[in-house]
A and B are shown apart, each in its own frame.
Chain A
Amino acid sequence: MSRFSKTLSVLAVAAATVGLVTPATAFDRYPGVGRAATPAEVKVWDIDVRPDFAGLPKGKGTVDQGIEVWEANCASCHGAFGESNEVFTPLVGGTTRDDIKTGHVKSLISGSFPQRTTLMKVATVSTLFDYIQRAMPWTAPKSLKPDDVYAVVAYLLNLAEVVPADFELSDQNIAEVQQRMPNRNGMTTDHGMWPGASAAKGGIGNGGKPDTKNVACMKDCKKDVQIVSSLPAYAQDAHGNLAEQNRFVGQTRGKQTGEPGATEAAAPSAAAATLALANSKGCMACHGLSNKIVGPAYADIAAKYKDQDDAAAKLMAKVKAGGQGVWGAVPMPSQGHVKDEEIKQLVQWILEGAKAQ
């Protein structure tokens, strides 16, 4: 029994379980609400075609019929030969006769084909059928009759040289075509999105392990963060000064990056320190450096008072006691909790233009 058939049987069991149990419990939980779906209602929704061809409608279609359906419905986006790269990546290409023999698409590994086409990736012909029947054409999904879908799938397979030009695909021979799919052995289920136990224990998944892991350190952990790499000096200001490009509030600050060779300021400049002070005292919640938030921008304040000699004293009093009316109806609350020298520093900084650095 191949790995893939195992996949199928496990999935079939899972699907059967879900199908039987879920509706019953749902109605138990909400008594008096709704009713069970009738078989006819379920049938309308139940259009999926599984890898073991459960759900496959009866029908047949030739490559030549497929050309006609293709020209009418598919070629405008996918190109006459499924080769178009304009709307979607190409459907066909990158597979060889050798791939059809081995069931592994070589160009996926060697990278010899510039893109990953659908026929390179898809492992099961049922997926092609299901997707086309369910979703294509994009403008009118589910509008193709089963025979049309068989014909289109036959045409696609012919383009990929999986089936000859005079081939007729039907529900009878689709299982044989599956044995010629170029990537039929290329599918792996050994990762987290597949359900069930690991392959070693007879399941199909990996036992529910996530694909990425981040192990929390519980003992003997490193105490200090060691920086093992950093931007070289010549690359520091490749994107300008990062500190200016980050928000002034919140946890994350951009690194101060300057001219190449400039001495890096070990301590923040006086202006930056005052900005930090303004942040910590809550000034920045209502005032922006150059934009109005609730209260006026510092740049506007500096402009308004720039010719007044007693501006500093006046503003200090206003900050301490609060005020209203100069910049509109929204009052500035009293800032009695801020020390006098801090208010002086802030006011001085504002009047000098409220520079960030």
Chain B
Amino acid sequence: MANPMRIRAAAKEGVTEVRVLMSHVMETGQRKDSSGALIPAHFITELTAKHNDKVVLSAQFGASVSTNPYLAFKFNGGAKGDKVTVSWVDNKGDSRSDEVQVS
């Protein structure tokens, strides 16, 4: 299980801005270690963000996304106290889901 994500969601004038800092190595599979062996690819493939139970963002990630990715997006609606859930799945089948209340 990976480290928790840091999520911040703030509603303002009917729009909720969500910022997420994920903790993931995001190995491309192209790098080599000090002995010259390839480091196996390990990256997030799918990311889903939900407002309460409604999906507001669904994304496919790949090897080109940086280590510890930072993601920010806005969606219409959302009020203080609502639940925002962000979850991801990586190519090794590992997953992580974190939720936060809109402030």
Q: Could you tell me which A residues sit within 8 Å of B by CB distance? A: 67, 71, 79-81, 83, 93, 114, 159
Contacts and interface: CB of A to CB of B under 8 A. Distances in A.
B83 interface: no
Contacts of B19: 80-81
A83 B8 contact: no
A81 B20 CA distance: 9
Contacts of B70: 79, 81, 83
16 contacts: A67-B8, A71-B10, A79-B70, A80-B8, A80-B19, A80-B21, A80-B72, A81-B6, A81-B8, A81-B19, A81-B70, A83-B21, A83-B68, A83-B70, A114-B67, A159-B6
Interface of B: 6, 8, 10, 19, 21, 67-68, 70, 72
Chain A interface SS verdict (over half): loop
A93 B68 contact: yes
Nearest to A70: B8
Contacts of A80: 8, 19, 21, 72
Contacts of B8: 67, 80-81
Given A80-B21, A114-B67, 15 more contacts: A67-B8, A71-B10, A79-B70, A80-B8, A80-B19, A81-B6, A81-B8, A81-B19, A81-B21, A81-B70, A83-B21, A83-B68, A83-B70, A93-B68, A159-B6
Contacts of A93: 68
Contacts of A81: 6, 8, 19, 21, 70
A67 B100 CA distance: 14
A79 B70 CA distance: 10
B42 to A, nearest CB: 15
Can you list the 10 inter-chain pairs with the closest CB atoms, starting with the nearest?
A81-B21, A80-B19, A81-B6, A83-B21, A80-B8, A83-B70, A83-B68, A79-B70, A93-B68, A81-B70
A66 to B, nearest CB: 13
Contacts of A159: 6
Contacts of B10: 71
A249 to B, nearest CB: 50
A71 B19 CA distance: 12
Nearest to B4: A161
Nearest to B103: A67
Contacts of B67: 114
Nearest to A84: B70
A71 B8 CA distance: 11
A67 B9 CA distance: 12
Contacts of A71: 10
Tell which of A71, A79, A81 has the most Cβ of chain B within 10 Å: A81
A261 B68 CA distance: 52
A354 to B, nearest CB: 56
A93 B6 CA distance: 13
B10 to A, nearest CB: 8
Contacts of A79: 70
A159 B19 CA distance: 14
A114 B67 CA distance: 10
A70 B45 CA distance: 31
Nearest to B21: A81
A146 to B, nearest CB: 25
A114 B66 CA distance: 12
